[in-house]
Structures are given as C-alpha cells and as structure tokens.
Structure 1
Amino acid sequence: MWRKLNNVKYAIFDDTLIIEKNEEGKETFYAQPFGYNKERLTELVETLKTRNQNYTDREYLFGDVDEEFLNDLKKYTDYKIEAIEDVDDFEYVYSINDLIELRGKKYHGKKNHFNSFNKSYSYEIKTLDNEKVIKDCLTLLHKWHDEVAVTVDKEMLMEIDAIKDLCGELHYFDLKSIAIYVDGNLAGFAVGEKVNDKMAVIHVERGEIAYKGIYSFLNRIFLMESFSDIELVNRQEDTGNEGLRKAKQSYHPVKMVKKYLVKVI
C-alpha cells in the first residue's frame, strides 16, 4: 500500500526477503527481514552493511523491528546493537471478543455509540466487491481529506492512492471488506485480513462522521462478520497523530507491539 510513500524496494538474499524503505525523519533503512536463518544472521547483516557504504542517508540499518528480531541480533551476532524505541510506530492489539461484546464500564461509551447508530439509521451491509462500491469508498475518502487536509500528515495525504490500489486487488490478497450504506449513501467502510489463526489486522477504516456512531458500529460489525473466530486484532500504529492515538487508546488495547530503529556497529 505504501510503496510510493516509502519508495519501497525489495530483494531476495539467502532465501530471505529484504525490504528497503524510506520514512520521513528516519531516512532509509531495511525492514525486519522475513524468513531469515538465525545461524546466518551475521552474513546477512554484513551484506547489508557493505551495501550501505555506498549511501549517506542511512543512520539506522534496520527499522520496523520487533523485540524477537532485536533479541536474535543480540544472540546470534557479535555486533554492538543500539536500539531506539520507535514509539509512533508501536502497534495496537486488541481482544476481538472484547470489541464485539463491549462489556463493562470502559466500553460503555462505545456501546452507546453502536446502539445509537443501530437505532437511528436504516442501513445495509455490503462488501467492496464491485466498481460502484469502490467508487463510493474513494469518494468518501476525497470528501474526508477535503475536510481535514490541513491537519493530516504526508502519509494520510497519500492514502487515497494506496487505498485505491488495495481495493482493486482485494481478491488477490484474500482481504475481507465491509461497506455500510445508509439510505443508499456510503457511511463507512473497512478492509482487513486474517494473518494467522490468532491474529487479524485492519488495514483501512473510514467513516462519515455525520452519521453518529459510525465508527463504533463499523468496528464491531466488521469483527463480528469477518473475524469472530480469531482471538486478536492488530489495528496498527498511530503515527504520532494525537487524535488517532486518543481514538486507538479509547478501545483499550490488550498489548502494544513495540517497534525499534536499530544501529548495528
């Protein structure tokens, strides 16, 4: 989705997927490798360090690194490892059962918002499986950006192209989707996928706030319809956006997936 924003490149080395990306404020780095051999980690790191000698915009060797890979670097190599918590990139993980049941005082407000939408509107649930629905989603996105463009960051401004690409390839990636219509008008939509037997991830979620309670309704219904058999859902990072951070915290994550920027010396 974000290949244009981050100038994403990839290579296969020693049966390991290497992704190179650039993020504003972090320069260019390699994301956590996929399928790496722990016993040959030194060889992989040395190859990347050698490649980086030709560049000057590489303060960190790795980014988007979780604690497991960080520990492997420390255990299986002899390099000096300097890791910095990338707080804005921490991922929010929630109990799907909690977000479906909305039990207890801490979810009282969310449940009220859900009930408000459910009682106030005549709605229809669809999926993003045809050009008309996808066009409506992109129209809603453009409207949202026109209203809040002055307050969003570069990533948010590029998401229309990213989501347009994604919507055109839902079948290829086996993604789940939902679109909520009220009286024939799109009120909100979301796209996500099942990562494994325990985890789902939400890639996109957008609602028209003129419909009171749309986000609470969208969140709960999507999980009920597509991911009720899974334990956890990853709703990704807040990118340092205070409004987004407050919204994600209000759903009470059960854990945060820490991410690190790593220097290897």
Structure 2
Amino acid sequence: MKTRAPHRRSRVRTAAVAALGVALTMASLTACQDDDKDDANASPSQSSSTDSGDSGDSDGAAEEGEDGTEDAAGDDTEGDGNVSVDPGAADDEESGGEPEATQPEAGEEPREVSSEEAAEFPPCAEGGVELKVTPVERPINHMLLTVTNTGDETCAAYHAPLLRLGEDAQAPAPRNEDSKPQSVIVLDPGQVAYAGLLTSDASGDSGEGHTIDSLGVTLTDRDDQPTGGQIDVPLPGGEIHVDDAAQVTYWQSSLDNALY
C-alpha cells in the first residue's frame, strides 16, 4: 500500500495541471473575443465621431450661410419695402423745403360754412372746376350734376348752377327753392359738390316735353352773378328728354341731399 500512494498523487497532479491549462486557454480565448468586440464597437464610435466633426463643419457653414441670407434679406427689405415714398419728399428734404400738402381723398364731404366765412374764398369758376352729369335710377327722371374743384386753392360753390337746357332755351332752368341750404358749400382742391336735376314730371302733367342735345352750366358768385362763361357739359347718350317740370337744386355737400 505504501508503494502505490505516490502514483496516485502523481495522477491527481497531472489531472489538475491539465485542467488548469484548459482553463487558461479558455480565458485567453475569451479575452481575445472581448478585444475583437471592443474593436468592432470602437469603429462605429470613431466613425460617428468623424461624421460628427464633418457635421459640425457643415452646421457652421450653414449658420454662416444663414447669416449671409439674413443680411441679404435685410438689404432687400430696405430696398423693396411696401412703404410708398413720395418722389418729391426726398427733394424737399434735401432742399430744406416743406413737403407739399396732400389733397383730401375723393369722396370726402366738403365743408358747409356761413356766408361770412365763405367770403374768404373765391367763388368756384370756369377754368378751375370740372362739371359732369350722370343718370340715376332713383328718383326716377332725375340726373346728378357734380362740380369738382380741380384748382390749387379752396373755392366756394354759391347758390345753384344756372342751367341752359338746349340751345333754344330762353332762360335758365328753374331752381328748387326747397333745397336752398342755410350755408355755403366750400370745396378744397379735389372735393365735390352735388346738384340734382329733375328732367321731367313722371305723371305727364307737364306736357309732352322735348329732347335736348346740349347742356350749358354757368356758376355764380356770392351775389348770384355769373363768375365766367358757360361750360358745355356732355349729356349721357348725347341727349335727354325734358319738359316744363325740369328744375335744379342748390349745391349740396352730399349726394343724398341732392337726390332728395
């Protein structure tokens, strides 16, 4: 028994050594595999880092481009703004003069003043006005006469216009005295006054009437005297029908008052 014990110990040691060698080999293989995995994982990271650097450069370029675009847009905004500029304003500023006063907008009602206040202004007269006559649907058998101040200064539209209905008319058309205002219409440049013209009686009680192909208008001054020559006003369609009921209103500040 004593002679066999050493052999058993030798076999046990040999087995232990062999097992230790296998364990070391496995550990080495595992370490290699871990290294390979680390290398594999490191590659995307490095690639991502590289791409990130490139992206940063691109972003910087984009930011620079955006800054340039904003600057350009700013220049364009200053040059092509929607605010309209009066060409004469710059000249006025450079010369040190004052800009010209703007005229009232079309359609703005004129002022109604006392006869004393109106005396401060010249009467509206031929050469500084534009006259026009247009048909209206309501009231029937009516037309609208307008006078526009086309001059550079305020004028007063006194009383009612003197109308010559046709070349053969012996006297001005009668005035509608019920339309006489208590004040005088004052027109700033560009403003309009209105007068209503009744052409004929709708009932037919004023006779058959006749057709005219011309209309002469004369404006008056404060004393109801002509301020100038007769102004020929074109008729719609070249002619209109009138009878003995024809009459004209005094100048009014609004269209509604003229077509009562």
TM-score range, shorter chain: under 0.3
| Structure that is richer in helix per residue | 1
Please give the TM-score of this superposition, normalised by the length of structure 2: 0.19
Structure with greater proportional strand content: 1
Larger radius of gyration, structure 1 or 2?
2
* TM-score, normalised by the number of residues in structure 1: 0.18
